[in-house]
Amino acid sequence: MLKVNLGNTGLSVSTVGMGVLPIGPGQLALPLEDGAEIICHAVKKGINFIDTAQYYRTYPYIKRALEILSTSREEDRRAAESLIICSKSLARDYDGMMAAIRQAISELHRPFIDIFLMHEVRTGGFEERKGAWQALIDARNSGLVKAIGVSTHHVDVTEQMASEPECDVVFSLINYASMGIRRGSGAASCHDMLSAIKACRDAGKGVFTMKVFGGGNLTGNYQKALDYVFSKEEIQSVMIGFGHKSEIDDIVSYLDGTMPADYNPDTSQKKMRISQEDCEGCGSCMKVCASKAIFYNKNGLAEIDQTRCLTCGYCSYACPVRAVIRY
């Protein structure tokens, strides 16, 4: 798979990365060996860029995959050695972020983490989390981390990072349908986000993106969704959550041009869930759910009763922050 130099970081990453959230306890909760096998499959297919987070609780899968690959054939061992791992934390202060970095290093059994980010930065959040940002700077200066940055769904935060001198990489949300793209407390378009991404690239930042399928809701337009991101030269790598080996094979087939023009993956077995990390409890999803499958949990956030859900997907379109996921 094609590799690119991620901004000015000196890190060479595949143009598709693997998000490991789907294999972990928040989604499919795969047994350790099964989840690790999917990561190994991705690596063997040429993917060397892995996205995780403190919140995902998926470090054991990555560690196990590295162990398996280290005892495999020479080619796989070399691939494992070139793996670029990106993690991130929702920590808001210095100590919390430094602890998150040390936890990742310890649980992954690595001497350092290639990329560490402030996770899910919203409008105004960068200023509010200055302590966490300082921890990232200090961790990079002491060699615990190679490159630092933010993950965000927000156009304004992406724009802000273009002029933030210490920021090396930006991990932003973009898809052709503009699902989940935000500016302040309102919605924004993929055109706005692309302009912000371009400003980051012009400033030498590495840029990779998330939610090409809008949290699974655009999978019915699989190739259209991929065509959009892969036609934008500003986007250096596209991070995609994989929970099955067949999903990795599909991407490889798309990239090598062997995918039939009318192909769409079978999503009939998928379920809907609401990301507790992203939900803001606004209730918009509940208003459109004719099955009354969505309720407020004890944290005041929306949750789906799977026994009532018809997987119609209407709630995902009603959600302003793309918290409804099909997996």
Token code pair at residue 282:
């606004």
Q: How far separated are the first and last CA of the chain, in Å rounded?
A: 25
Q: How far apart are CB 58 and ligand SF4 at their closest, in Å?
A: 22
Q: Whole-angstrom Cα distance, residue 132 to residue 95?
A: 7
User: Quick check: helix, strand or coil at residue 117?
Assistant: strand
Among 10, 124, 204, 283, which residue sits at the site for ligand SF4 (rule: CB under 6 A)? 283
Nearer to ligand SF4, 87 or 178 (CB): 178
Of 139, 153, 18, whose CA–CA distance to 84 is shortest? 18
Among 289, 295, 297, 299, which residue sits at the site for ligand SF4 (rule: CB under 6 A)? 289
196 φ/ψ angles, rounded to the nearest 5 degrees? -65, -40
181 binds ligand SF4 (CB under 6 A): no
Q: x/- string (CB under 6 A) for ligand SF4, residues 243-282?
A: -----------------------------x-x----xxxx
Q: How far apart are CB 320 and ligand SF4 at their closest, in Å?
A: 6
Q: Whole-angstrom Cα distance, residue 142 to residue 127?
A: 23
Q: Whole-angstrom Cα distance, residue 186 to residue 239?
A: 24
Nearer to ligand SF4, 68 or 288 (CB): 288
302 binds ligand SF4 (CB under 6 A): yes
294 binds ligand SF4 (CB under 6 A): yes
Among 76, 230, 284, 327, which residue sits at the site for ligand SF4 (rule: CB under 6 A)? 284
Residues whose CB is less than 8 angstroms from the CB of residue 20 and which lie 6 or more positions away in sequence, other chains included: 35, 39, 50, 51, 52, 56, 58, 61, 62, 241, 242
CB-side exposure of 230: number of CA atoms within 13 Å? Answer: 18
Q: How far apart are CB 21 and ligand SF4 at their closest, in Å?
A: 17
Q: How far apart are CB 298 and ligand SF4 at their closest, in Å?
A: 14
311 binds ligand SF4 (CB under 6 A): yes
Contact residues for ligand SF4 (CB under 6 A)? Answer: 272, 274, 279-285, 288-289, 291, 293-294, 302, 304, 309-315, 318-319, 321, 323-324
